[in-house]
């Protein structure tokens, strides 16, 4: 006979991880990110890159856009994806693309080859999980920045969006006085970036298969984080806060579960460095 | 070749001079034909093909990021299908039309608080800037003012 005894779980202090600006990361850090993505791509199951990309597009299409769930759903999506990355490499986080200040797609995502190897951040295969492939589907991601001349090109900090009263995009977004106003402004700038990048990024069906997608959404999420700092009381309304969001893996999350990024294990920084402490 | 869509003039009973904000609202904008950008002009008359953001009657633009070609089976992208029963609590279809509003206060002021509005829109499909026909479809155009 075996006696099973319930023990109290051991407590550990949690350490937040830092999401960094991709253009401020060292070559070693970017290569580590590349390896983590390649590691996810090699997993043909519900831990793999294609699985997560399929939540947003083919085949699951459970993303939220143009409504009050846009920001929290994508924050939860990044949380799940980042855990997938960290199953490959616990030290890797999703980087952010500073399209407010950078005039182009960051170099780490643009260069075709790195050390004679294909740069996975420039183009990734599209192999949706669990659904027969159609010959009409794209086989890999590509981009055509600027091909859509009607979308505003980065850098967008001073770009004037309609209704901004002449304010630059950043000041306009941050001046939002309510969550409703804030998500709407973020969504408009976000949509513009997707369409400016072009290629698969401009189609919800395929956008998340492009590694740039995650950096784009980390930037949107970062703006929400900054705005939360500046307007700490400006929460979504109660009904929104207690709404469940649909994801294809546990944990399921309510909107209120993703309000505080610390609870999801990360913070944002331009750069991060540390040295061992002393005892 | 760019083509332009001009809505019927909207005779507005609103005294624009006495309000603090004016919104133009595109009601039920369809999202089932791919991402696009729309340029909106007010009381612009005949527009040259290359009219852009620097045109003095340019009121603003909006970009909608949405799904391209339907990849599913028949009816997959039919956003008009409603709940299957009174107990169907699932959210509405992802392609259900949305309303898009634009604050056009500055433009209205600049053109002297007119009594009638004529709105001209150029919508361009992402990835195919020359395609414009049928790209922007919506059910109604409204103007709203706020004191």
The 10s digit of each residue's pLDDT in B110-136 is: 999 998 899 999 888 888 877 767 889
Q: Is the pLDDT of residue A237 over 90?
A: yes
Pairing of strands B10-11, B98-103: unpaired
CB contact under 8 A, A162 and B102: yes
pLDDT at A148: 85
pLDDT at B50: 83
C-alpha–C-alpha distance, residues A11 and B57, integer Å: 63
Per the CB < 8 A criterion, the answer to whether A145 and A198 are in contact is: yes
Q: Is the pLDDT of residue B68 over 60?
A: yes
Percent of chain A with pLDDT over 90: 85
Range scoring the smallest mean pLDDT among A173-187, A247-261, A262-276: A262-276
Paired tokens of A210: 């492009």
- ipTM score for this prediction: 0.79
The mean of the pLDDT values for chain A is 94
Strand partners, A203: B66
Q: Most B CBs within 10 Å: which of A62, A99, A151, A198, as the mutation test of the B interface? A: A151
The 10s digit of each residue's pLDDT in A164-201 is: 888 999 999 999 999 999 999 999 999 999 999 999 99
What CATH code would you report for B5-11+18-67+93-146? Answer: 2.60.310.10
CB contact under 8 A, B61 and A162: yes
pLDDT at A104: 97
pLDDT at B1: 41
Q: Is the dihedral of CA B77, B80, B84, B85 positive or negative?
A: positive
pLDDT at A163: 80
Q: Most A CBs within 10 Å: which of B60, B65, B89, as the mutation test of the A interface? A: B65
Per the CB < 8 A criterion, the answer to whether A203 and A58 are in contact is: no
Please report which confidence band the pLDDT of residue A245 belongs to, taking 50, 70 and 90 as the band edges.
very high
Please report which confidence band the pLDDT of residue B14 belongs to, taking 50, 70 and 90 as the band edges.
confident
pLDDT at A132: 93
Cis upstream peptide for A57 (omega within 30°): no
Q: Is the dihedral of CA A235, A240, A244, A246 positive or negative?
A: negative
Q: Where are the domains of chain B?
A: 5-11+18-67+93-146
Pairing of strands A17-20, A266-269: parallel
* Helical residues (DSSP H) of chain A, grouped into ranges: 27-41, 49-56, 70-88, 107-110, 169-174, 179-197, 212-230, 238-241, 261-264
User: Does residue B71 or residue A257 have the better pLDDT?
Assistant: A257
CA A237 vs CA A71, A175, A178, A264: distances in Å: 14, 19, 10, 21
Q: Whole-prediction pTM value?
A: 0.89
C-alpha–C-alpha distance, residues A54 and B109, integer Å: 47
Please report which confidence band the pLDDT of residue B10 belongs to, taking 50, 70 and 90 as the band edges.
confident
CB contact under 8 A, B37 and A148: yes
**Closest residue to B71, CB basis, from A65, A137, A194:** A137
Q: Find how far residue A240's CA is from the centre of its chain.
A: 21
C-alpha–C-alpha distance, residues A142 and A109, integer Å: 11
Q: Is the pLDDT of residue A60 over 60?
A: yes
Question: Of 1.10.1280.10, 2.60.40.10, 3.40.30.10, 1.10.3720.10, which CATH number belongs to A17-130+137-269?
Answer: 1.10.1280.10
The 10s digit of each residue's pLDDT in A114-161 is: 999 999 999 999 999 999 999 999 999 999 998 888 899 999 999 999
The 10s digit of each residue's pLDDT in B45-65 is: 888 878 889 999 999 999 999
3-class secondary-structure state, position B114: coil
**Helix H or strand E encompassing B106:** helix B105-110
Please report which confidence band the pLDDT of residue A250 belongs to, taking 50, 70 and 90 as the band edges.
very high
Task: Please classify residue A24 by burial: count the beta carbons closer than 10 Å to its beta carbon, then call 0-12 exposed, 13-18 middle and 19+ buried.
Answer: middle
pLDDT at B87: 84
The 10s digit of each residue's pLDDT in A71-86 is: 999 999 999 999 999 9
Q: Is the pLDDT of residue A14 over 90?
A: no
pLDDT at A4: 67
Q: Where are the domains of chain A?
A: 17-130+137-269
C-alpha–C-alpha distance, residues B94 and B78, integer Å: 10
Interface of A with B (CB under 8 A): 57-59, 61, 63, 65-67, 134, 136-137, 144, 147-151, 161-166, 188, 190-192, 194-195, 198-199, 202-207
What is the rounded average pLDDT of the residues B7-35?
87
**Closest residue to A150, CB basis, from B39, B67, B94:** B39
Percent of chain A with pLDDT over 70: 96
Strand partners, B66: A203
C-alpha–C-alpha distance, residues A15 and A253, integer Å: 21
The mean of the pLDDT values for chain B is 88
The 10s digit of each residue's pLDDT in A91-109 is: 999 999 999 999 999 999 9
**Closest residue to A203, CB basis, from B39, B68, B129:** B68
């Amino acid at each position: 006979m075996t006696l099973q005894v319930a023990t109290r779980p051991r407590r550990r202090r949690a350490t937040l991880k830092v999401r960094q600006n991709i253009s401020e990361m060292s070559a070693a850090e970017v290569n580590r990110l590349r390896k983590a993505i390649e590691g996810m791509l090699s997993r043909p199951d519900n831990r793999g890159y294609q699985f997560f990309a399929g939540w947003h597009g083919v085949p699951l299409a459970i993303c939220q856009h143009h409504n009050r769930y846009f920001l929290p759903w994508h924050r939860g999506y990044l949380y799940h994806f980042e855990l997938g990355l960290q199953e490959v490499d616990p030290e890797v986080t999703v980087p952010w693309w500073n399209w407010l200040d950078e005039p182009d797609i960051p170099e780490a995502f643009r260069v075709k080859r790195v050390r004679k190897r294909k740069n996975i951040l420039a183009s990734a295969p599209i192999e949706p999980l669990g659904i027969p492939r159609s010959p009409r589907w794209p086989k890999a991601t590509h981009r055509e920045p600027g091909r859509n001349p009607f979308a505003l090109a980065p850098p967008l900090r001073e770009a004037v969006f309609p209704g901004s009263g002449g304010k630059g995009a950043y000041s306009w977004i941050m001046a939002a006085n309510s969550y409703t106003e804030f998500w709407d402004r973020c969504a408009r700038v976000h949509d513009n970036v997707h369409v400016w990048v072009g290629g698969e990024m401009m189609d919800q069906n395929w956008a998340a298969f492009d590694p740039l997608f995650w950096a784009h959404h980390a930037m949107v999420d970062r703006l929400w984080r900054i705005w939360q700092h500046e307007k700490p009381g400006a929460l979504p309304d109660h009904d929104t806060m207690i709404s469940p969001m649909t994801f294809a893996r546990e944990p399921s999350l309510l909107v209120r579960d993703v309000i505080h990024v610390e609870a999801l294990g990360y913070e944002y920084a331009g750069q991060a460095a540390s040295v061992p402490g002393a005892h | 070749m760019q083509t332009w869509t001009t809505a019927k003039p909207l005779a507005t009973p609103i005294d624009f001079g006495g309000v603090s904000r004016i919104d133009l609202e595109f009601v039920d904008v369809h999202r089932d034909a791919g991402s696009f950008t729309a340029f909106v002009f007010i009381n612009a008359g005949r527009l040259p093909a290359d009219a852009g953001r620097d045109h003095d009657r340019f009121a603003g633009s909006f970009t909608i990021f949405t799904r391209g070609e339907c990849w599913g089976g028949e009816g997959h992208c039919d956003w008009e299908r409603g709940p299957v029963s009174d107990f169907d609590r699932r959210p509405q279809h992802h392609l259900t039309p949305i309303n898009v509003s634009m604050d056009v206060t500055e433009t209205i002021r600049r053109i002297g608080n007119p009594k009638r509005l004529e709105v001209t829109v150029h919508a361009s499909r992402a990835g195919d800037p020359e395609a414009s026909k049928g790209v922007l479809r919506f059910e109604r155009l409204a103007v709203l003012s706020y004191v």
